[in-house]
Amino acid sequence: MPIEIFHCKQCGAGLKQAKSSGFYECQFCGTIFEETDGQSELIKKDILSYADNLLDRIMKGEDPVRLAACMDIQKIHDYRIILPIAGVLPDLMKYSDRARTKTTGDAIDALSNTIKNIGDPRAVDILIDLLQNKNSYLHQIAAFALEKLPDQKALIPLLEALNSGDRYLRSAAAGALGPLGDIKAVEPLMNALKDSSHYVKNSAAGALAKIGDTRAIPELIKLLKNKKIDEKDEFGNIVSIRLTTVRALGDIGDDTAAHILLKIFKEDDPGIRSAVNWTLWRIGDRSNDQSVKRKINKVVIL
């Protein structure tokens, strides 16, 4: 890909930048420019016009144009592009269902990742609204994005999403509740450990670890004792709920958990034992019970 050298008309910075879809973004001030046909003059573009142009290329362009636009749109971190993306994603997915191609899949991933990685607190209200969207994929993306933008305004909508009929939304909502650190989410997440979906159980265990409330310890131990709880997902991959649970106990486990983990350490498979080893070390490090420390030190391998 050829390298273009130009000076930003907004801040004057000298830049070397790869030419992709005919647009450029100043890495210093964020101004967007477009190269006009047959000229080297660079014209300032409004961010939404720029995003609309990229979306048009993603929806209608040939593969090389589409892929370049996919790369460029992920460089935008302006919260205002969430709604334009949300407007085209369902149509893109319908097209994908009819004739899935690699570039269509790449485009869906690129647009999804753009929303997830916005990182602007001003996006929170828009993402909360998207949780109610009738398109199941969009409300999942919104929940994933909210996990990276923890805001108390999202607590109630996420708790409501935890009761959704869509297991993927329940899983994403559980994950987003963890970074909020609100104890109001502890009991709903403990109930989610009993969910029929292994995705939801896994996300709930991880979220409870982030919140750090010790009330969750007995429920996490129950989950850990069930050796048949790990399942394959629809793609044939093992979802190791027990492994997530062991790690969660490493964050919030106490002396009671240590006794259970010591027994598992002697009896379980090597993969679980390795995680238990680290978790026991962490519990022992913060324990005030010398007898527990001695028992842990006898088995832990540093």
Residue-wise pLDDT tens digits, 227-260? 777 666 655 565 688 889 999 999 998 888 998 8
Name the token pair of 138: 């969009």
Tell me the C-alpha distance between 202 and 235, whole Å. 17
Question: 119-155 pLDDT, tens per residue?
Answer: 889 999 999 999 988 888 999 999 999 999 999 999 9
Contacts of residue 141, Cβ cutoff 8 Å, sequence gap at least 6: 89, 112, 115, 116, 130
84 phi/psi in degrees, rounded to 5: -60, -40
Q: For position 301, what pLDDT does the model report?
A: 77
What is the pTM for the complete model shown?
0.78
Nearest alpha carbon to residue 218 among 267, 252, 173: 252
H-assigned helices in 28-119: 47-60, 63-73, 82-98, 102-116
Tell me the C-alpha distance between 72 and 66, whole Å. 10
Name the token pair of 196: 């029929």
